[in-house]
């Protein structure tokens, strides 16, 4: 007799598939995982596994070794052939060294002997969930969303030059996405699997910048107690991203120019020349031509770095991208904080469109993170935003907001009358959840 049970299922929780013919074991594991915010699906029928994997986004499979008609090792082999990146853990009360070796050879992540040490197993599950979340967040965060003509042209250039080793300089205000574009170039290049090293020229003290870049030999200066590789050596074969290149002091600029010209360098305290194969991408929020006129930036270095110049627009110039970007961050922070905020209200959208966004995309991202954290309903309302954003409502918006609030108040009153004052039933009539209704009533001063 086979069984398959799905506990209360939450879409924003990771799901674990348990394959075991012992009902008590399945129930125990399912209760453990549910108590720690995981979904659990369990079955005793290995034939059901393929369909379950197709229909669900599974974090981990836990399989018993001894089951009717199949062994756990055979199931692991079958799963890994179709889903090579899916982690599988085997559990058994009949384990032997040969069984463990076979399971590992077929791709098992780990093996646990019954009776299980639940906390150890849970710790491993938590680690898998954390890794998955970070990968997913990184993927969302690195997606470039735009319908802006100037931004689309910049991305077209990125696609053309990514496969070359041409030096690129990216300019734009702080928070416009310069590092994201640099990363995009690196990921689309032949150096994608090689090191990617970011150097923030503004954050490294002038006295340490050369040691950071070139490395040093023991005794090169007072505190050099050991030899140390610099960023140029660490990045060999890969890409170096110099952020805020305009902050680099004039002496280091001269040495960087020589490295670019000669494609070689020396560690501090050494006469040994080291060849270098690294691609350079630079970025700044300053006008380097003005710095050249002021004598604080070398013109020869500028021309060496700016074979291709990408200038990124401000968020204010990308009006058509504000709401798609906000929705992207909504998805990102829902996932990060295990929230279920579904949308952004029209009032909030109006505020976003009218705001000047001096901090650009970074400011929008921070605003959305705070809003998702403080949102207790399924929609982001103006009161979830930092207070300064509510100042962006124009008189026309305020008039429209007043009309909208009056209509909303009337609709809620009608629903309450129909439901004889029962707020839960009124929420059902309005197709919203009870908490959203309470929030709307509170905002409208309806008690």
Do 240 and 373 lie in one domain? The reply is: no
pLDDT at 379: 92
CA end-to-end span of the chain: 55
Do 259 and 370 lie in one domain? The reply is: no
Give me the CATH number covering residue 100.
3.40.50.2300
d(CA 392, CA 92): 62
Which of 81, 104, 137 lies at the terminal end of a domain, its last residue?
137
Residue whose entry in the numeric block shows the structure tokens 């090191």: 195
Q: Which stretches of 60-199 are DSSP H helices? A: 72-82, 97-105, 118-141, 149-161, 178-187
pLDDT at 194: 92
pLDDT at 275: 94
Do 160 and 299 lie in one domain? The reply is: yes
> What domain count does the chain have?
4
31 and 5 Cβ atoms separated by less than 8 Å:
no
3 state SS of 359? coil
Do 209 and 227 lie in one domain? The reply is: yes
Give me the CATH number covering residue 350.
1.10.8.60
The reply to whether 100 falls in a domain is: yes
3 state SS of 258? helix
| Structural domain of 425 | 394-447
d(CA 202, CA 300): 21
Q: Which residues pair with 90 in a beta bridge?
A: 63, 111
Do 158 and 292 lie in one domain? The reply is: yes
3 state SS of 264? strand
Do 200 and 266 lie in one domain? The reply is: yes
pLDDT at 395: 47
Give me the CATH number covering residue 439.
1.10.10
CB-CB neighbours of 13 under 10 Å: 18
pLDDT at 177: 94
Do 154 and 272 lie in one domain? The reply is: yes
**Peptide bond connecting 115 to the previous residue in cis, omega within 30 degrees of 0:** yes
d(CA 308, CA 291): 19
pLDDT at 426: 77
pLDDT at 447: 66
Do 418 and 438 lie in one domain? The reply is: yes
pLDDT at 4: 47
d(CA 17, CA 14): 10
Question: Closest Cα partner for 19 from 43, 50, 41?
Answer: 43
Residue 37 Cα distances to 7, 34, 60, angstroms:
12, 5, 14
pLDDT at 366: 94
Please give the chain's pLDDT, 447 residues, in tens.
Answer: 444 444 444 445 789 999 988 888 888 898 889 888 888 998 888 888 888 888 888 999 999 888 877 888 899 999 998 888 899 999 987 767 888 888 888 889 999 988 888 888 998 998 888 887 666 655 545 678 888 999 999 999 999 999 999 999 999 999 999 999 999 999 999 999 899 999 999 888 888 888 889 988 888 787 778 888 999 999 999 999 999 999 999 999 999 999 999 999 999 888 899 999 999 999 999 999 999 999 999 999 999 999 999 999 999 999 989 998 998 899 889 988 888 898 899 889 889 988 999 999 999 999 999 999 999 888 999 999 988 887 655 544 445 455 556 666 777 887 788 778 888 887 776 667 777 788 778 877 786
The reply to whether 388 falls in a domain is: no
Do 164 and 282 lie in one domain? The reply is: yes
């Amino acid at each position: 007799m086979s069984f398959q049970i799905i506990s209360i299922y939450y879409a924003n929780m990771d799901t674990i598939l348990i394959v075991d013919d012992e009902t008590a074991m399945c129930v125990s594991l399912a209760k453990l995982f549910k108590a720690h915010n995981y979904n659990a699906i369990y079955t005793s029928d290995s034939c059901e596994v393929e369909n379950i994997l197709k229909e669900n986004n599974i974090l981990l499979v836990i399989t018993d070794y001894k089951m009717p008609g199949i062994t756990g090792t055979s199931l692991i082999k079958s799963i890994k052939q179709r889903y090579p990146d899916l982690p599988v853990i085997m559990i058994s009360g009949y384990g032997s060294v040969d069984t463990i070796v076979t399971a590992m050879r077929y791709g098992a992540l780990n093996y646990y002997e019954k009776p299980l040490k639940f906390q150890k197993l849970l710790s491993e599950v938590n680690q898998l969930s954390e890794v998955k979340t970070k990968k997913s967040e990184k993927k969302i965060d690195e997606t470039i969303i735009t319908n802006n003509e100037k931004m689309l042209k910049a991305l077209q250039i990125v696609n053309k030059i990514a496969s070359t080793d041409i030096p690129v300089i990216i300019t734009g205000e702080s928070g416009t996405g310069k590092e994201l574009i640099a990363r995009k170039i690196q990921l689309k290049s032949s150096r994608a699997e090689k090191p990617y090293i970011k150097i923030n020229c503004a954050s490294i003290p002038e006295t340490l910048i050369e040691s950071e870049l070139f490395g040093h030999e023991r005794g090169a200066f007072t505190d050099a107690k050991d030899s140390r590789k610099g960023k140029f050596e660490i990045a060999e074969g890969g890409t170096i991203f110099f952020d805020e290149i305009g902050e680099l002091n004039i002496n280091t600029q001269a040495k960087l120019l020589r490295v670019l010209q000669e494609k070689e360098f020396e560690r501090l305290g050494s006469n040994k020349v080291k060849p270098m194969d690294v691609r350079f991408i630079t970025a700044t929020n300053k006008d380097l031509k003005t710095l050249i006129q002021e004598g604080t930036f070398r013109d020869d270095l500028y021309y060496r770095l700016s074979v291709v110049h990408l200038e990124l627009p401000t968020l204010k110039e990308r009006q058509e991208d504000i709401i798609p970007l906000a929705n992207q961050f909504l998805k990102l922070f829902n996932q990060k904080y295990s929230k279920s905020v579904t949308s952004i209200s029209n009032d909030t959208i109006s505020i976003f469109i009218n705001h000047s966004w001096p901090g650009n995309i970074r400011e929008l991202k921070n605003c959305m993170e705070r809003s998702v954290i403080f949102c207790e309903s399924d929609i982001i309302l103006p009161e979830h935003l930092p207070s300064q954003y509510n100042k962006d409502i124009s008189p026309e918006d305020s008039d429209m907001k007043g009309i909208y609030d009056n209509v909303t108040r009337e609709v809620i009153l009608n629903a309450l009358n129909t439901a004889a004052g029962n707020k839960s039933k009124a929420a059902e009539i309005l197709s919203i959840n009870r908490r959203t209704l309470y929030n709307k009533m509170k905002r409208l001063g309806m008690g």
